[in-house]
Structure 1
Amino acid sequence: MDVVLLLLNVVTIVFITTTMFAAGLGSTVNALTAVATDVPLLLLALLVNIGLVPLIAWALGILLHLNAAAFIALVLVAASPGGPFGAKLATMQHGDATTGAAMQVLLAAVGSVSFAPVANIVIRAAGIAEGFTLDVGALIRTVALLQLVPFAIGLLVRHTRPEIADRWQLRTAALSNATFLAVLAGMLAGNWQQIAALLGSRTILAGIVLTAATCVVGTLLATGPVPRRTTMGGVAATRNVGPALTAVGLAFHNDPAILGALAGIFVTSMVVSVPAAAVLGRRRHPPDAAEHSANEP
C-alpha cells in the first residue's frame, strides 16, 4: 500500500506541474491581461471561487451531516479553484473559450496561495478536525511551487519562443491528460472499498449539489453575454484536484477515507458537469445546423 501511495504522490506531482506548464504554454499575456483588467468579471469570479464555493461546501456538510472525512474532502475540493477541465467545458458548451481558459489559469494561480488559508479557516470553523490546523505555510509553498513556477516558465516560453511553445504544448497536454487518468485510476484503485461504500451516500449527494450550485452561482455572478456567463459557471463548477491531493498527503497522511471521499466527489462533479456542457453545446450548435454549415459552398 505504501508503494501505491508513493506512486500516486509522484504521478500527482507530474500531473500538477505538466498541467500548469501546458497552461502557460497555451496562454498569452494579452489574453490574461484582458481578463485581469476586466475588474467586474474578475472580482465576481474571485468572490464566487474563493469565497462563496467554500461557504456552500461548509453549509452542505452541516445540512447533510457528513462525517469528518467526507466533510474535509468536500472543503478541500471547494477551496481549490481553477480546475483545468473548466477550459475544456467552455469549448464543449461553445461558450467563451478564450475568457474561460484565461480565467481558469488566473484562478489556479490565485488558488495556489488562497487554498491553504481558506481550507484551514473552514475546517477549523466547522469543527470537523478538532485540535487540527493545516500547516498553511508549507501548503502554500508546496502548491505555489508546483503550480506557479511551471506556469510562469510556460508563459515565458510562449512569450519568447512561440514556435517552441506550439510544439511543446501538444506533448505536455498529452502527458497532463495521461497523468490525470493515472491519478484518477490510482485514487479509485487504492481506495475502491471506501468509494464503493459511498455509492448512494450523502457524500455523493453533496458532490452533486456542490457542482450544480457552484455552476448556477458562477453563471449568475458573471458579466457579459450568456455564453460568457455559462462559461464562468463551468469554470466555477470545475475544481482543481491537485492542491486537494497535496493537502491530503501533507496534512492528513493520505487518509484512505478522505482520499476515497475526494475521489467520489471529484468523479461526481465530472459526471454532472460534462453532460451539462454537452447538452448546452448541442443547443447552441445543433448537429443538423453544423452539418448544414459544413455542406455550404
Structure 2
Amino acid sequence: MNTLQLLFNAVTVIFIAATMFAAGLGATLPALRVVFSNVPLLLLVLLANLVVIPLLGWGVATLFGLPAAAFIALLLIASSPGGPFGAKLGMVQNGDVVAGAAMQVLLAAIGSITFGPTVNVILKAANVGGGVSLDVATLMLTVAVLQLVPFVVGLVVRHYAPSTALSWHPVAATVSNVTFLVVLAGMLVGNWRDVVALIGSRSLLAGCVFAVIAFALGTALATGPFERRTTMGGVAAVRNAGPALAAVGLAFGNDPAILGALAAVLLSGLAAAVPIAAVLSRGRRHHDMKLSTPPSE
C-alpha cells in the first residue's frame, strides 16, 4: 500500500471519528429522549431510512442500468443513514434543527450496525459485481468502533462536562468538515479518470434522482409540522459516507472505480438536496416576513 493510500485511509478514519464525536458533543440526553418518546415519528423515520431508502437505491440503480462500480456505490450510499450533512440541511431550510440533529445521530448509531447486513442482502439479491458480498461481522465491528465509540465518548463529555463539550464542539465540527472535504477531494483527484468517465453518464443523474426521491420519501414518512417533516426529508436524502468508505476499503480493496463513483454519487446527491433546502428556506422567510409585517391602516 503506497503512502498516499495510507494517508487517505488515515484521513478517512479521522473524518468518521470526528464526525461522530462532534455529533455526541452536540447531542443531549433530553433531546434524544424526545426522539425516542415520539414513537410514530421514530418508527416512520426508521422505516424510511433503514428499509425504504436502501430499496430505493437498488431500484434507481436498476432503473438506470448503472455499471457495476456505480451500482455498488449507490447501494452503499443508500444503505448508510445518518449523514452529518442531513442535520445541516435542517439549518439551511430553517426547519426543526433539534429534531433533525437528534434523528441524524440516532440513525448514524443504528446504521453503524444495520449497514453491513443491509448491503450484504441487497448485493446478493441484485447479484451485482459478480455476486460480491461483504464480511458483515468485520464491517459491523469496524463501523461500530469508528462511529459508536466516538459518539458515546462525546455524549458522556456533553452530559458530565457540558462547558467542555460546548468548547470542543466547534473544533470537532471543523475537523469533520475539513476532513470530509479532504476525503472528497482525495476521492476525486485520486480517481479522476473514473470520475471523468462518469460525466455525461447516467450515474450522476441517478445520484440526483435518488436524492430528490429520498427527500420526498423522508418528508412523507414523518409526522408533525411541515418544518419537521421536511427536516426528516433532508436527513433521509443525505447519507453517511463513513460506512460506505469503510466498506470500499474492507470489501473492495479501495477500488478506484467504486471510489470515483462514490464521490460522484455523493456530490450529485448534495447538488440536488441543497437547492431543495434553499427553496424551502426562502419560502419560510417570506412567510415569516408576511406574518411579522403589521397590517396597513
TM-score range, shorter chain: over 0.9
Distance in 2, matches of 1:152 and 1:274, equals 29
Q: Does residue 62 of structure 1 match 2:62?
A: yes
Report the TM-score when normalising by structure 2.
0.95
Q: Deviations over 1:63-86 (max 9, x none)?
A: 111111111000000000000001
Q: Does residue 262 of structure 1 match 2:262?
A: yes
Q: Identify if the C-alpha distance between structure 1 residues 197 and 103 changes in structure 2 by more than 3 Å, giving closer, same or farther.
A: same
Q: 8 Å contact 2:48–2:217 — kept in the other structure?
A: yes
SS at match of 1:285: helix
Q: Does residue 235 of structure 1 match 2:250?
A: no
Q: Deviations over 1:188-233 (max 9, x none)?
A: 1101111111112111111011101110001011100100010000
Q: 8 Å contact 1:4–1:190 — kept in the other structure?
A: no
Distance in 2, matches of 1:8 and 1:274, equals 27
Distance in 1, matches of 2:81 and 2:132, equals 23
| Alignment-derived partner of residue 145 in structure 2 | 145
Q: How does 1:24-35 map to 2 (within 5 A)?
A: 24-35=24-35
Q: 8 Å contact 2:123–2:131 — kept in the other structure?
A: no
SS at match of 2:217: helix
Distance in 1, matches of 2:3 and 2:285, equals 47
**Structure 2 gap ranges (5+):** none
Q: Does residue 225 of structure 1 match 2:217?
A: no
SS at match of 1:80: coil
Q: How does 1:14-33 map to 2 (within 5 A)?
A: 14-33=14-33
SS at match of 2:134: coil
Shift of 1:131: 4.1
Q: How many residues align?
A: 292
**Structure 1 gap ranges (5+):** none
SS at match of 2:223: coil
Q: Deviations over 1:17-43 (max 9, x none)?
A: 011001100100000111012111111
Shift of 1:276: 1.3
Q: Deviations over 1:60-119 (max 9, x none)?
A: 121111111111000000000000001110011010000000000000000000000000
Distance in 2, matches of 1:210 and 1:192, equals 23
* RMSD after superposition: 1.5
| Alignment-derived partner of residue 280 in structure 1 | 280
Shift of 1:287: 10
SS at match of 2:143: helix
SS at match of 1:15: helix
AA aligned opposite 2:143: V
AA aligned opposite 2:130: E
Distance in 2, matches of 1:83 and 1:105, equals 8
SS at match of 1:66: coil
Q: Identify if the C-alpha distance between structure 1 residues 46 and 287 changes in structure 2 by more than 3 Å, giving closer, same or farther.
A: closer
Distance in 2, matches of 1:271 and 1:73, equals 17
Q: Deviations over 1:136-171 (max 9, x none)?
A: 000000000000000000000000000100111111
SS at match of 2:65: coil
Query: Structure 1 runs of 4+ off > 3 angstroms?
Result: 286-290
Q: How does 1:38-187 map to 2 (within 5 A)?
A: 38-187=38-187
Shift of 1:4: 2.1
Q: 8 Å contact 2:48–2:221 — kept in the other structure?
A: yes
Q: 8 Å contact 2:69–2:129 — kept in the other structure?
A: no
Q: 8 Å contact 1:11–1:179 — kept in the other structure?
A: yes
Percent of aligned positions with the same letter in both sequences?
A: 57
Report the TM-score when normalising by structure 1.
0.95
Q: Identify if the C-alpha distance between structure 1 residues 198 and 287 changes in structure 2 by more than 3 Å, giving closer, same or farther.
A: farther
AA aligned opposite 1:274: V
AA aligned opposite 1:89: L
AA aligned opposite 1:162: P
Q: 8 Å contact 2:25–2:155 — kept in the other structure?
A: yes
AA aligned opposite 1:124: K
Shift of 1:288: 9.8
| Alignment-derived partner of residue 194 in structure 1 | 194
SS at match of 2:195: helix
